[in-house]
Structure 1
Amino acid sequence: MAEPAVLRVRHCGAQIFCRRPPQLCPACGLPLRGAGLAAAPLRLPSPFRHGHRQPYAFLLRPTTGTFLGGYDGKSDLHVGITNSNGVVYNYSQDGIQRAETGWEQCISIPLVQPDMFGMLQQWDKLLEEFSEGEAWLPHRYEEGDHNCYTYALAFINSVLTAQGKQQLSKSEFTEKFVIPQTKRASKYITLHQELTAKDFYIVPLPDPLKEC
């Protein structure tokens, strides 16, 4: 199912978010046609990706449901790593799972650059061999200390070590790569929820004089 579009229009000192571009500005009532380029509707890019179409990536999704399907911002999240074909390797109380479905709406963080030819060729083998380690057997799973995030970060660090690079702590990886994406996603989810309840969501633009 296609994700509904979120459009933004700027007019009369406000940002107007909507699903369909209005004829009249809902803030001031004046016609938007002929109001200039700023009043032209702009579709906001979605922060979510079809995870099975994102190879060599770190994926993040709600443990149950979807980001735009009732996620409250507090429920648990689940993470995984994709191979070259978009199969999502993830760790749970059932051990390592190799999912070919279920990750259709995710936050995706690419892990391999297109010019890293050696790593692209080795990725699937490294991921499979790493996932077969005893550390990821079902009985080793602990929700707080040995979980899906532990697994994904441990694999990323094993790749960094193989490349002669410094490993990342959980806080470093989260702050540098995950938080910027989740902040953007959070704003988009808020817009989506507002527009599910009403036709328009109006946010005043900052006053440039106050920013000086």
Structure 2
Amino acid sequence: MRLCGVIFDVDGTLVDSQADILAAMSGAFEAESLAPPSKDAVLGIVGLSLDVAIPKLAPGSDHAACTRMVQGYKDAYASLRMQQGADVSSPLYAGAREALSRLKEQDEILLGVATGKSRRGLDKLIDAHGLAGTFLTQQVADDHPSKPNPSMLLQAMRDLGVEASDTVMIGDTSFDMDMARAAGAYFIGVSWGYHDVSRLSEADVVIDSFAQLDAALEMIWSKANG
């Protein structure tokens, strides 16, 4: 049996966490007496590791200030999550749970995540949504260079024992797309996330709902098998 890896981004792909992302980023900037960046600017960097994202949003700030903002963001995000619960503050997109269940039932498909979230943040989210045991590999920002560096996707493939030609990355940002390309994997873009669909022009396919995911994967496997 030929094994296939299906690797998901998290924020903007599986869960909608933009309200907490925007609030936490505003808090981090205000703590440094800086005007918060615009919504579009913040959502434009979702997917990058914080130590890469915040200097892009605050190009005039020195390293020490950016380091404080990274920690301020983490603290504010954790506080918001604690107040509401991760299942409320970062709800699953419609159809996500069902799609994961369908894929998990197929013995030849191995699931994983590759995310700019921290290990702590991902663990909290998985626990909150009852997804323990769903993802056989979990790659986070703590252990890798920021997307679009292919490090986390390459490690996911090693963990699962699958080739790049049998791997699909699913995400909402150009960073996910570029990471997949750099790793030699296929890429399915989702239109409901934080980057405009125009930025996903090099995706193998873009889907508008999780109901379309199975057919998109079948199309890719068919192409891969020639």
User: Taking structure 1 as the reference length, what is the TM-score of the superposition?
Assistant: 0.23
Structure with greater helix percent = 2
Structure with greater strand percent = 1
- Computing the radius of gyration from Cα coordinates, the structure with the larger value is 1
